[in-house]
Chain A
Amino acid sequence: MKITKNIVLKFSREIVDQPIVCKLAKVYDLSFNIIKAYVTPRQEGYLILQVSGRESDLKKGFEYLTESGVKIEPVSQDVVRNEEKCTHCGVCVGICPVGALAVDEDTRKINFYSEKCTACGLCINVCPVRAMEVRF
């Protein structure tokens, strides 16, 4: 039976340029969709994948990833904005890699589009009043 999982893969700076993920298909017979991929300013890579395959293959594939130095996290966390705290300054706008935080031209408020947010967490420490919060 085939199963599908959403996972976040974090690549440290040292391994970010290595062809690790393609082996999932070649060697472990898994198919995957890349939902989002980006490299942070600190050269760490993030890949949000939807992986499908037989349960035993998934397990082996994940083991292979972990051995290669990739950190695997489930996409279970959510980033939310504490509306009371947000001052609508806009510091986060330039940081968010997927445009989930954007200025409204009219009101000059910073809108948060949670449906676009990939929960990468980059905005959390950048927000000067810590209005972006992780929920598990």
Chain B
Amino acid sequence: MAKTISEINEKIKKGKAVVLTAEEMTEFVRKKGVPQAAKEIDVVTTGTFGPMCSSGMYINLGHSKPKIKLGGGSCYLNEVPAYCGFAAVDIYLGCSQVPDSDPRNTIHPGEFRYGGGHVIEDFVAGKDIKLSAKTYGTDCYPRKQLETFINIKDVNEAVLFNLRNAYQNYNVAVNLSEKVIYTYMGVLKPKIGNANYCSAGQLSPLLNDPLYKIVGIGTKIFLGGGQGFVSFQGTQHNPNVERGLNGVPKVPAGTLAVIGDLKQMSAKWLRGTSMLGYGPTLTVGIGIPIPVLDEEIARYTSVGDEEIFAPIVDYSDVYPNAKDGTLGSVSYKELKSGSIKIEGRKVPTASLSSYYKAREIAGILKNWIEKGEFLLTEKVADLPGPNRD
């Protein structure tokens, strides 16, 4: 019999909800089958911890004396430029932003030791951040310059707002050329010397809800160690892709825009990251609970690494030049084994997203729900799903 989210929430409040991580659910269904799982299990928790370049934070700084209008001026946080095209003291910092003084890729490959993502990590960790701003004065905001230190404790609001996170599936990157390349998928050795992937596979949020039946706008989630929300479909959300019989996309598909109070979050789950020769970014921890309302959801959440396939893409030519074509596809089970076969050759694999940490996130979320600290939400609107034709 089908359950509702409010029934499950009642159980959570009484400490009686049965919660499994997506990995445990896969095991459970393998042993006891889908109908039993739908009956016994209330919630499945997922997790992912990987570099997500479309992440950033906005801050309302509060007013200095005399007041300053940053809107229309320029400002820096620890030398990293932040966007201030808003009102007087609202600023936004994207994680891929680079200090003006960084040599970037002029000395190739650039190291990108400190950028927007690192500022976010330091800020969340409670470190003082140097703010320098310059602007024009007005009658109501006379001040033209500001040099000060800001701390997350003292600003009015600090909000993590990521435009595209939690990609549903992703490419496996290889390099067909004769020279090493430095990409957002890591360092790729020549002549398919290695293959890098970036998804938690069977633990990944949207791979456990392939057709967006549960996850939607308003879904409450684990975000950076705190509780946040899905605010919209992410940019480049593309539900209309080739899918397996289980509904799981075979190429990158859905994405999420997420938002949450940065003051609740922790630097453990928001990590400044440097991709050699590419740029800085932020590694973000996300976990999404999926209520097991019926057998269909039980089946989706039982998906295993052997049933999820990712395309192998050449990043020396096909990707940069927007050409079509892949070198085949491969399951996450094979990827996680440490090597895959491409064109008959054994190629070592490595992951950019941490499966170990994804597992930890799913475990933390499970714990929150078991203890009654996290209640599930009903989505308020659907994410765009695949066109039916």
Contacts and interface: CB of A to CB of B under 8 A. Distances in A.
Interface of A: 41-42, 87-95, 103, 107-110, 125-126, 128-130
B350 A93 contact: yes
Given A41-B193, A129-B283, A91 B49 contact: no
Contacts of B113: 130
A95 B187 contact: yes
Interface string B99-141: 0000000000101010000000000000000000000000000
Contact of A90 (B273, B283, B354): B354
Contacts of A42: 180
Interface string B192-221: 011110000000000000000000000000
B187 A126 contact: yes
Given A94-B196, A130-B113, A107 B180 contact: no
Contacts of A91: 186, 196, 350-352
A90 B350 contact: yes
B55 interface: no
B228 to A, nearest CB: 20
B348 interface: yes
Given A87-B49, A103-B338, A107-B356, A128 B283 contact: yes
Interface size class of chain B, counting residues whose CB lies under 8 Å from the partner chain: 35 or more
Contact of B271 (A87, A95, A108, A109): A87
B283 A126 contact: no
Contacts of A93: 338, 348, 350
Contacts of A110: 356
Given A87-B271, A94-B196, 12 more contacts: A87-B283, A88-B355, A89-B354, A94-B194, A95-B187, A103-B338, A110-B356, A125-B109, A125-B274, A129-B272, A129-B273, A130-B113
B273 A128 contact: yes
Contacts of A90: 350-352, 354-355
Nearest to B278: A128
Interface in B266-319: 271-276, 281, 283
Contacts of B16: none
Contacts of B352: 89-91, 128
Contacts of B50: 89
Interface string B166-191: 00000000000000100000110110
B122 to A, nearest CB: 13
Contacts of A107: 356
Interface centre among B195, B271, B354, B357 (most CB of A within 10 A): B354
A33 B182 CA distance: 34
Nearest to A40: B180
Contacts of B78: none
Contacts of B189: 41, 94
A89 B355 CA distance: 7
Contacts of A108: 355-356, 359
A92 B352 CA distance: 9
13 contacts: A87-B271, A87-B283, A87-B357, A91-B350, A93-B338, A94-B349, A95-B194, A103-B338, A108-B356, A125-B276, A126-B276, A128-B51, A128-B186
